[in-house]
Amino acid sequence: MTRDLTYAEALREAMREEMEKDKGVFLVGEDVGQGYRGCFAVSTGLYEEFGPYQIIDTPISENTILGCGIGASLVGMKPIVEMMFADFVAVAFDGILNQAAKVRMMSANQYKLNLVIRLPGGSKNGTGPQHSQSLESIFMSIPGIKIACPVTPYDAKGLLKEAINHEDPVIFFEHKKLYSLKGPVPEEEYKIPFGVARIAREGKDLTIIAISYMVNVALEAAEILKEKHNLEIEVIDPRTIVPFDLETVGKSLKKTNKAIIIEEGIKRDGVGAEISSLIMENFFDYLDFPVKRIASKNSIIPMSPRLEKAVIPNKESVVKEIEDLLIL
């Protein structure tokens, strides 16, 4: 049976189901339990259901929060670490880079970290320079971790359940604009394996690979371009960027011969740069022209919503860039 849930409700359901199955699964972070129920209300009701041993409120100390998660996972538990905003993970960066990512190799595979680090990121109506960043690309160069970027409620639940039981540290990006969006989610048990992309829209004229919330922007732009120019645009949602489903991208490019990558992170050294390199190295012969990257300007995110809109890609700017590229 399937019902419509919001993205936040799907995440909550995934955590609830895993906590019911395994008392070693717990959520730890700032204001996740009593009172606030998480900055974006994802953990609403879980404290009342599972109590202070599985829903743990912490002081404002991100380094300590992550250290708690690493230590607990080393003794066989399955912590879910929530950073109130993705931006705050910088305080705990050493724990990810030098500890969590390296434990399996440095212990000769004796230790496996069932550790999920949930990061609410991206812009949302003027939350400012320190609360609006899309930091996916920073973590892509770190061996030993996986990176998930679910877009739909279905994927949010399925990927989170996979992450909780994955045996490697998982950086789990949740775009703040997605929390209230609704979509179908089955009641039956399911997981989504990492490294399997989703074709969000099928097409034959152009391939767009979009990251996180930009999948929805790409879909809106594709609809406009269909109406204006009768273009059939294929939109690929990678779901995870580490591992990345290059095979699905290759099949699409063999059909369309054109590739555009859209992300909310800044263009310089972004996720799109890595994916573009992979495409050029593996599918150069399929392409009619070089890969196009659309991303935020190389700028700090402004506080003003109007200025924020000028920095970050939106459906109008994406349509304009595609029209210019295809000389429409």
Angle CA 269–273–277, to nearest 5: 135
Task: Measure the CA–CA gap between 42 and 48, rounded to whole angstroms.
Answer: 14
Q: Which pLDDT score is estimated for 38? A: 75
Low-confidence ranges of the chain (pLDDT < 50): none
Query: What pLDDT sits at residue 220?
Result: 98
Domains of the chain, start order: 2-186 (3.40.50.970), 198-326 (3.40.50.920)
The predicted pLDDT at position 269 comes to 93
pLDDT of residue 34: 83
* Per annotation, catalytic residue among 131, 166, 175, 229: 131
pLDDT at 116: 98
pLDDT at 125: 79
> Given the DSSP bridges, would you call strands 233-237 and 198-201 parallel, antiparallel or unpaired?
antiparallel
Asked whether 321 and 258 are in contact (CB, 8 A), the reply is no
Question: First-to-last CA distance in the chain?
Answer: 45
Instruction: Tell me if residue 175 is catalytic.
Output: no
DSSP-assigned letter for residue 296: E
Predicted local distance difference test score (pLDDT) of residue 39: 80
pTM: predicted TM-score of the whole model, two decimal places: 0.96
